[in-house]
Structure 1
Amino acid sequence: MTEVTIIIPVYNGSRWIDECFQSIVNQTYKTKFQVSVYNDGSQDNSLELIEKWRTAFLERDIDLCVTGHNDQSPRGVGWSKNKAVERSAGQFLCFLDIDDIMDKDRLLKQYQAAQAQDNVIVGCRFHREPVGSTERYTRWANNLPHGKLMTQIYTSHGPTVIMPTWFCSRSVFDKVGGFDEGGMGVPEDLIFFYKHLDLGGTLMRIDEDLLMYRYHQTSATFSVKEETIWNIRLEHLQKQVLSVLSEYTIWNAGRQGRKFFRSLSTDNQNKVKYFCDVDLKKIQKGYYTFEESKIKPKPKIPIVHFTKATPPFIICLKLDMTDGEFEKNLASMKLTEVDKIVTIPQSSWDPVSYKVEMKIFSSSKAVESEMLVNDQNGQIEVAEDQIIVQLKTYNGIDIDQRGYSIKEILLVISDLYFIS
């Protein structure tokens, strides 16, 4: 049985094939593994160069599987990855772009990590080529605290564990159902990422630089419009976060905060208690008037100094852009950014895999009791008038002691959500 398959979509990748494939041959993972390449209608000599590596792979006991099509129009990254996985044999999948280069220990270390935990996407640190490309993004992705991999999932940076470093079990891939096949302009990695989390999946990053992640203008990333990503992020935030909040504050009364507000559904707009800011000119206006609203009189949202606002906050400011002033203000609020498990999706509640220990309080009986959610149907057996006053563990991981309503069991509430 093949334990690991490297999944490589290729479209006109001839200039990078030798470097990429040499990094595969150099792997310290010595057990037999497979490389599954899908050629998405390359118009250069990619196929010819790929076949030249077959002998070198055989000498290393690496099975090379090459499939694809000859149409002039590529079908997209999502399609290509799905087809490469379809023809693969590994119980674990290592995703690799043809323009990237793996460190010699990548397979070994990510395989060991993925074996140790179920339902996880394992990533790693990386460096960019050319040096200095996307410095803010690289710094954020490499140094985001592990506890925030599950919370800072709505920023403009995208997935907190970046796609070119992904390593997961086949069961993780199958549970999600593969990548979106919409083709050019579709952020298939972000869509997969959110589905994985919605299904109770977790994230892990190995804090070692195990990949050279190349930056160039022909990358598929540049075909995705910012507005497309914004809409996907917003849809998920509204469904998984705002739907269970009764009210919240938007941190930023400026352009980005107003854009966020205007993009919301009417129900979620009505939950906005404040805009908050540090700009005295904005604060002195007193209110933000939603002029585009069809409601009369026009809705007005108070604008207050951030110290006067109340959590939870939707942060519509970019981190690492104000010489530390914003971060200093944020720290002064002593807010909680949940750094454990964020989502407990009802759709994937499993009586064996998902165990939640909690204390509940019945508003009618005013008594406390302990309960382990682990019945045969995987249901949360509590009455509508009961409130969870202490959520203690999720899959054995300790969680902050906080109050939750029954409707909020789908989400471990945080004080902070970053959208910019």
Structure 2
Amino acid sequence: MYSYSFMVCTCQYTVLWKVLLEEAGIQMVLGENDSSQPRGVGFAKNHAIDQSSGTYLCFLDSDDVMMPQRIRLQWEAAIQHPESIIGCQIEREPAEATERYTRWINNLTCEQLLTQVFTSHGPTVIMPTWFCSREWFCHVGRFDEAGKGTPEDLLFFYEHLRKGGGVFRVNQRLLLYRYHPQAATHSVLEGTIWTHRVLFLEERILSRWTFFTIWNAGKQGRKLFRSLTPANQKKVAAFCDVDTNKIAKGFYTYEESKENPKPRIPILHFRDASPPFIICVKLVSIISLSKASVWNPHQIKSCAFSCNKAHIE
């Protein structure tokens, strides 16, 4: 166990647990940041790994609870998937906290664990459930130690994918994931996450496309367009939407552009638009469209870049 801040470390409890665990034959190594300032979650995770010695790494936040069978089941999965991050389903406490996010994290298919990595929810297996080999962790690299406000789990997850890593989930609820307002995730600004997501989208998807359509002519679709590099902005063939008021405008004019005349991007009905698509709408909206049989995202080349905010709820 490693505490990243003297303000967080409740020494009396950690010492008590060390005694109890060692009486049960389980060695516990304690470490803490001895500076006057917190060093951040990434720093703590890296140092916890440094002071440990096992072949496999099982992550657990101090405010969460794991089920007795968690290590065994994830270890068995890690043997079968040695270059993967192994996650599991979760129970949320309180149950009504971030309900949409909890449904998403628990119900992704094997395919979606990789295809939905660009959404605003973040890693498709939630960080407190991660399990992997030490060898693979060292291959990917360490957590970012920039400190407060850094999405170190998201950055590590992206690097893991860059190195060819897989994602696997044990389909049992092996972790009680507690919600509280003081959680470190709340220190990460939505804008910071957005910037990293756009960069990863451009690197992994848009760099391979010569043109594409942004599904959403509204605020979020225009925000995505403005966030792209100039080279990728020129690849946007059109916006598309289902809203007749937006479609009636005909064009989106990029007023902030330094070009003259200003770029004008057509706004089309989705039936008239051409793939591939960057889908910049809420995942629940995508599901509703698919169930209504007006459009099936699985039959058209597309990439979901949903705009849900559940990652920082």
TM-score (norm 2): 0.94
State the alpha-carbon separation in 2 of the partners of residues 176 and 45 from structure 1.
29
In the TM superposition, what is the alpha-carbon distance from 1:39 to its structure 2 partner? 2.3
Unaligned residue ranges in structure 2 (runs of 5+): 308-313
Q: Deviations over 1:368-401 (max 9, x none)?
A: xxxxxxxxxxxxxxxxxxxxxxxxxxxxxxxxxx
Q: Deviations over 1:330-377 (max 9, x none)?
A: x54344479xxxxxxxxxxxxxxxxxxxxxxxxxxxxxxxxxxxxxxx
Letter matched to residue 415 of structure 1: S
Check if 1:41 corresponds to 2:5. yes
1:87 to 35, 46, 51: 51
| Equivalent residue number for residue 225 of structure 2 | 261
Alignment of 1:69-88 (within 5 A): 69-88=33-52
State the alpha-carbon separation in 2 of the partners of residues 173 and 337 from structure 1.
35
Q: Deviations over 1:155-188 (max 9, x none)?
A: 1111111101100110121012110001000000
State the alpha-carbon separation in 2 of the partners of residues 124 and 50 from structure 1.
26
| Equivalent residue number for residue 156 of structure 2 | 192
| Equivalent residue number for residue 146 of structure 2 | 182
Cα 1:188–1:57, aligned 2, differ >3 Å: closer, same or farther? same
- Is the 8 Å Cα contact of residues 54 and 64 (structure 1) preserved in structure 2? yes
Cα 1:62–1:155, aligned 2, differ >3 Å: closer, same or farther? same
- Is the 8 Å Cα contact of residues 43 and 72 (structure 1) preserved in structure 2? no
| Equivalent residue number for residue 115 of structure 1 | 79
State the alpha-carbon separation in 2 of the partners of residues 266 and 41 from structure 1.
42
State the alpha-carbon separation in 1 of the partners of residues 296 and 8 from structure 2.
56
Check if 1:416 corresponds to 2:310. no
| Equivalent residue number for residue 211 of structure 1 | 175
State the alpha-carbon separation in 1 of the partners of residues 135 and 276 from structure 2.
35
SS of 1:173's partner is: helix
State the alpha-carbon separation in 2 of the partners of residues 45 and 80 from structure 1.
12
Higher percent of residues as helix:
2
Letter matched to residue 281 of structure 2: L
1:244 to 208, 212, 235: 208
Check if 1:326 corresponds to 2:289. yes
Cα 1:53–1:263, aligned 2, differ >3 Å: closer, same or farther? same
State the alpha-carbon separation in 1 of the partners of residues 227 and 306 from structure 2.
12
State the alpha-carbon separation in 2 of the partners of residues 265 and 45 from structure 1.
43
SS of 1:121's partner is: strand
In the TM superposition, what is the alpha-carbon distance from 1:200 to its structure 2 partner? 0.2
In the TM superposition, what is the alpha-carbon distance from 1:285 to its structure 2 partner? 1.3
1:152 to 90, 98, 116: 116
- Is the 8 Å Cα contact of residues 120 and 168 (structure 1) preserved in structure 2? yes
State the alpha-carbon separation in 1 of the partners of residues 138 and 299 from structure 2.
31
Cα 1:54–1:151, aligned 2, differ >3 Å: closer, same or farther? same
When the two chains are superposed, the root-mean-square deviation of aligned CA atoms in Å is 1.7
State the alpha-carbon separation in 2 of the partners of residues 275 and 50 from structure 1.
55
| Equivalent residue number for residue 135 of structure 1 | 99
State the alpha-carbon separation in 2 of the partners of residues 280 and 148 from structure 1.
31
In the TM superposition, what is the alpha-carbon distance from 1:228 to its structure 2 partner? 0.2
Check if 1:276 corresponds to 2:240. yes
Check if 1:307 corresponds to 2:261. no
SS of 2:169's partner is: strand
Check if 1:166 corresponds to 2:130. yes
| Equivalent residue number for residue 310 of structure 2 | none
Cα 1:320–1:335, aligned 2, differ >3 Å: closer, same or farther? closer
Letter matched to residue 326 of structure 1: L
- Is the 8 Å Cα contact of residues 279 and 302 (structure 2) preserved in structure 1? no
| Equivalent residue number for residue 253 of structure 2 | 289
State the alpha-carbon separation in 1 of the partners of residues 18 and 153 from structure 2.
29
Higher percent of residues as strand:
1
- Is the 8 Å Cα contact of residues 149 and 160 (structure 1) preserved in structure 2? yes
- Is the 8 Å Cα contact of residues 96 and 165 (structure 1) preserved in structure 2? yes
User: Identity of paired residues, percent?
Assistant: 49
**Structure with larger RCO (C-alpha < 8 A, sep 6+):** 2
Cα 1:56–1:268, aligned 2, differ >3 Å: closer, same or farther? same
In the TM superposition, what is the alpha-carbon distance from 1:282 to its structure 2 partner? 1.1
State the alpha-carbon separation in 2 of the partners of residues 96 and 209 from structure 1.
14
Check if 1:65 corresponds to 2:29. yes
